[in-house]
Amino acid sequence: MSEITPIVLVHGGAGDIPEERVPGKIRGVKLATKLGYKKLQETGNVLDAVEEAVRSMELDENFNAGYGSVLTTEGNVEMEASIMHGTTMKAGCCSFVKDIMHPISVARRVMEKTVHNYLAGDGVMEFARNEGFEILYPPGQLVTDFARQALEEWKEAHKRGEVGFARTEIGAKNKYANETETKQYGEVGTVGAVAIDKDGNIAVATSTGGITGKLPGRIGDTPLLGSGTYADSRFAGVSTTGHGETIMKAVLAHDIVKRLEFTSDDVQTATEKACKAMTDHLIGTAGAIVIDKKGEVGIAFTSKKMSWAYQKGDKIAYGINQGDFTEETIED
């Protein structure tokens, strides 16, 4: 097998992203992929690369993860994350993480320090304390002004009966599709990263604050293997973003990997087909980033926008609207 050119590919969430938020999203995904790629060069470890890329976005209030996470109906941050190595098939997942800056690092610690795939609630918080993670005090330090404003707008829309659960223009082929679960209010999204090294090892990491106005205790697709995150180095690694309830039903990440296993589609075609099939059938929109076993990249979304970027060698590519593709040479 010939040596593969390493790649780090990231996304910063899919959804109805306001134009004023676009520059921050683009800056953030470009920085994340550069930091992830640098870490991959330093350690040669794809898990290090995807964790570093996601940690960068968890620090950036332009993203719905870590600092900048959206709020529950009660005004709190409840985060979740997952990470997976496609060669060993080891994984770590967590939900209901509170007042910790980097849920993705908690997920990785679950993978490396327990015999489990998934910890949540009081259990994951106690585990994090025992592992030495800083629990921010007083609580609420991850709440941003933008998140507070978004929740207030959500509450006003809810009073008017407009909380974004209206049939989209795409329409559903499934006559049984639940029209109350079709479109989320306001900006949504997740952050994620996929990396491949020169030997074909693939890793994926995904992190989120969920959706504005979610009920306390809600779990989305992000921490669920096969939905928000999936890696199998024999085929591909996938991180998804968008309407979590829909992604969960479609098991979108796993669907893309299986299309690559059982069809002749290239990675871009498989990614596009899976996202479109999900939205056609279930209405909700989403996006996915994928790297296949050959080091080819797939990027697709049925949402209005999805910020993404990847670095390969000294080139970085990025975009946010449908059809966007800008490539730049990275200066030393």
Binding residues: 218-221, 241-244
The CA-CA-CA angle for residues 140, 99, 117, to 5°, reads 150
What is the Cα–Cα distance from 30 to 204, expressed in whole angstroms? 17
Provide the sign of the torsion angle of the four alpha carbons 57, 43, 293, 7, taken in this order.
positive
Element (H, E) at 270: helix 267-282
Nearest Cα residue to 227 out of 202, 257, 263: 257
The contacts of residue 270 (CB under 8 Å, 6+ apart) are: 256, 259, 260, 263, 290, 298
Question: What residues form the annotated binding site for substrate?
Answer: 218-221, 241-244
Tell me which of 33, 72, 190, 271 is the catalytic residue: 190
CA distances from 245 to 94, 249, 282, 284, 286 (A): 17, 7, 10, 8, 10
How many CA atoms lie less than 13 Å away from 60 in the CB half-sphere?
Answer: 24
Does residue 190 have an active-site annotation? Answer: yes
DSSP 140: T
- Which residues does the annotation mark as catalytic? 190
